[in-house]
Structure 1
Amino acid sequence: MAAATSDRFVACPPDSAFLDAMAALAGGVCVVTALTSEGRPVGFTSTAVMSLSRAPQLLAIGVGRAGRSLPALLGGRRFALNILHSGGEHVSRRFADRTADRFADLEWSAEEPGGLPLLLAHSSYTVLCRVVRDLPAGDHHLIVAAVEDVVTGTGGPTALVHHDRRYHALGAA
């Protein structure tokens, strides 16, 4: 019976079935921000975020290999994980758009020291992270990061969630 079970996982299902299954998995919406080696802010929207360890405090994010922010994450070894509040859908869409000037006309600040771009006005929390491990994984990289600090945003205890290819606000009045 064990052989039959393992054979089940050899052939891949159709890509659409995999994408549909992952769309059924609700995920908190975050924007990962970093600085390029030239000091330019970069960022992208992500639901591929997980708490990994409480002691030491670690989290993991998935980053596409083709993403423009990956070199900044790997080169600078630091990033900010901005956990968007329930009113942050427009910010999520902007950072998911490959053509948008993502920081133009958007309220953000620079963390000191280090200058990481923080989206506190759009976040419930912002977690400052230092990359400790980078693992290539298919068409993505799995980045493991140590938590350096947690900053409370201005959004209160609400959350923006992505499920079934749509945004949902949680905890909003």
Structure 2
Amino acid sequence: MHAEEATHPSSPGSPDSPHDHNHFRKVLGNFPTSVVAITAGMPDGRPEAMIVGSFTSVSLEPPLVAFLADRSSRTFPRIREAGRFCVNALAADQEVLCRSMATRGADRFAGSSWQPSPLGNPVLDGVVAWIDCELGEVVEIGDHHLAVGRVHALRAESDKTPLLFFRGGYGDYFSSTSLVLDRLVGW
């Protein structure tokens, strides 16, 4: 191996076009995502929920988070109307709940228990953590809405591992020596 080859990794070849939707999904499926339930308490007293795999922190000062909602979603307009939402980080043992809440037309809260957040949004029992938000800015980006939330309250509920979506399936794929280190140093 030449010195130049050692410092510059070889090219992975010609990239494929991102315009092939199936190929795009397949490649992006190699990036694991956490699975969260976005819940909202509605003025009529009925709770709403949707499942997303695109949640992120945005800012520490002020504390902001965001998620992406498909523009074809029938639930997001109701959550937007509520003006508030709660992000529920689902635990690895909540796949059945996840699938139920992702089903169109179903009673998404059937068989689940929850408590109201400080803002009145559903906090699902058994989650890893939750973040209660007031809805801030909503921006149309491509075929999605980027919803930014101003964090009002938050709590880590358990030491369970999170539910992840990876290569088209749900599971608890994460194991890391850093988790052992985190417990030793008190994270």
Summarize deviations over 1:32-58 as a string: whole Å, max 9, x none.
001334231110111111111111111
Counterpart position of 1:132: 136
* Contact preservation (8 Å) 2:50, 2:76: no
* Contact preservation (8 Å) 1:49, 1:59: yes
Alignment pair present for 1:103 and 2:109: yes
Larger radius of gyration: 2
**Aligned-partner Cα distance in 1 for 2:72–2:41:** 17
List structure 1 segments (4+ residues) > 6 angstroms apart after TM superposition.
none
Q: Pick one of 31, 38, 42 that aligns with 2:48.
A: 42
Amino acid at match of 1:162: F
* Contact preservation (8 Å) 1:29, 1:45: yes
* Contact preservation (8 Å) 1:129, 1:148: yes
Amino acid at match of 1:117: P
* Contact preservation (8 Å) 1:37, 1:75: no
**Aligned-partner Cα distance in 1 for 2:145–2:41:** 18
Structure 1 stretches lacking a partner, 5+ long = 1-10
* Contact preservation (8 Å) 1:85, 1:156: no
**Aligned-partner Cα distance in 1 for 2:42–2:77:** 7
Counterpart position of 1:66: 72
- By how many angstroms is 1:12 displaced? 4.8
Alignment pair present for 1:156 and 2:162: no
* Contact preservation (8 Å) 1:37, 1:72: no
Structure 1 37/71 Cα, relative in aligned 2: closer, same or farther at 3 Å?
A: farther
Q: Pick one of 122, 127, 130 that aligns with 1:117.
A: 122
Structure 2 stretches lacking a partner, 5+ long = 1-16, 176-187
Higher strand residue share: 1
Corresponding residue SS for 2:134: strand
* Contact preservation (8 Å) 1:127, 1:149: yes
**Aligned-partner Cα distance in 2 for 1:56–1:96:** 31
Summarize deviations over 1:119-144 as a string: whole Å, max 9, x none.
0x231101001111000112210011
**Aligned-partner Cα distance in 2 for 1:15–1:37:** 38
Corresponding residue SS for 1:142: strand
Amino acid at match of 1:129: C
**Aligned-partner Cα distance in 2 for 1:68–1:141:** 12
**Aligned-partner Cα distance in 2 for 1:70–1:136:** 13
**Aligned-partner Cα distance in 2 for 1:41–1:147:** 20
TM-score, structure 2 as length reference: 0.78
Counterpart position of 1:146: 150
* Contact preservation (8 Å) 1:51, 1:60: yes
Corresponding residue SS for 1:88: helix
Name the % identity. Answer: 27
